Amino acid sequence: MSDKFDVVVIGAGPAGYVAAIRAAQLGLRTACVDEWIGAGEGASFGGTCLNVGCIPSKALLDTSEQYYKVTHSFAAHGIEVNDASLNVAKMLERKDKIVSTLTGGIAMLFKANGIEAIHGHGRILAGKRVEVSSPGTDEVVRTLDADHIVIASGSEPIPLPSAPFDDRMIVDNAGALDFKEVPKRLAIIGAGVIGLELGSVWRRLGSEVVLLEAMDTFLGTAEREVSREAAKQFKIQGLDIRLGAFVQSAKTIDDEVHVVYKLNGVEETIIVDRLVVAIGRRAFTVGLLGADSGVELDDRGRVQTDHNWRTTAPDIYAVGDVAAGPMLAHKGAEEGIAVAELIARGHGHVNYETIPWVIYTHPEIAWVGKTSDELEAEGRSIKTGSFPFAATGRARAMEEAMGFVKIIADADTDRILGVHMVGPHVSELIQEAVVAMEYGASSEDLARTCHAHPTLSEAVHEAALAVDKRAIHRAN
């Protein structure tokens, strides 16, 4: 078996496995090195996203939403269910089956595309060589020679020194996806995307959930009205979000976690059954770079790249969470495709202005483009239109009459600069806005596009009409 490849990809998460597949499609002899060990102690491709992130969390979010509907929402539809119960073991079994099916699917895609999948830890050496060691050991099993190397080693949870992980009572996001029973009392440090999604899962299943957020603002990167509406809905659901809370310590005492934090200068203590630390993620570069690799890191520990994803070493690239930019699976996947095409064809492209963001809570939150605050800070003259889901027949019929769509357009050119949503299924609705912005559409373009009735997408249509004060189904 030859150890010479046109492209060696390190990491099989969304950025890495997509880069490998596209490189192989373009006729390049490709290998992908990944060290993730699955539940069966073998290779499990897909990285954090597929194994302990995006996919398993959405599986639990869906289960918890179904359970909540049975116990809280079905009565409004005239459906009466008595003594509904939750089988946590079955819920986790379903989640694990989904993960194993999809990770196995990546292995099949590698085989179908002629990609050599190598289970091990990749370390870059001088001369575009990749040293592969057995997972979890220092035993070198192969050394690969590459014309090009793509680093896609992903990210890892940021630990909090005052609340060290013990993988039982104090856990990261992966541990929070594998509780064997519903904790009566759950605290989460961090009210960002991960904290909110995990909090939503366990709250809907019956936990008392407290989120301790150090920032004074809630979802500060989102549009102001969106974050306010989301906060209101989460409060109705019983999520206890405490802003400006700085955790001082967390200790396990007699199967309870005692969390000490400061709020407005006053020290407070809460006692919970489980604690999740979800304060963010950082680039994973442990053991990645040999001293002579020529690849440098930036001041935040990420692999340093230029605007074409090139590192400081010739013919070595970095994509996804390990490089700069938002840590989003779809952003990494687009970069993986772009780099493969850059290597094979000399050019690749990602439009960072049209990358959507989604938070899979209930209601869902999604946006693309810039916020009003960002545009005003740039001195841009803007006009806006919004429309509530409560004024759409479909949302009313679904008993999902919450949230709204807001569109921001340039005051002079009418070009869409940002679209922000909170409400039912906005993770799907946002894609219409992404496509519109990718093609440089104006709010008038959306306003003159026929939308089926009755649908949730009518809220997008009416918001576009509202930009010029001509919404039909609400007062202007």
Which class for 459: exposed (0-12), middle (13-18), buried (19 or more C-beta within 10 A)?
Answer: buried
> Which residues 6+ apart lie within 8 Å of 312 measured at CB?
294, 295, 296, 304
Torsion of CA 461, 462, 466, 472, to 10 degrees: 130
- Can you tell me the distance from the alpha carbon of 294 to that of 398, in angstroms, rounded to the nearest whole number? 56
Q: Which residues pair with 251 in a beta bridge?
A: 258
Q: Are 218 and 308 in contact (CB under 8 A)?
A: no
Whether the Cβ atoms of residue 126 and residue 295 lie closer than 8 Å to each other:
no
From residue 79, give the alpha-carbon distance in Å to each of 63, 65, 66, 129: 18, 16, 14, 63
Beta 256-263 vs 245-253: how paired, if at all? antiparallel
**For residues 289 and 88, what is the distance between their CA atoms, to the nearest angstrom?**
41
- Is 347 designated active site? no
Which of 402, 407, 434 is closest to 420 using CA atoms? 407
Distance CA 190, CA 196 (A): 8
Per-residue tokens: 232: 């209101």
* Bridge partners for 32 per DSSP: 9, 117
Q: Left, alpha or beta for 101 (phi > 0: left; psi -120 to 50: alpha)?
A: alpha
Which listed residue (347, 362, 453, 473) is catalytic? 453
| Cα Rg, the chain, nearest whole Å | 24
Distances (CA, A) of 407 to 63, 428, 466: 32, 16, 9
Mind telling me the catalytic residues? 453
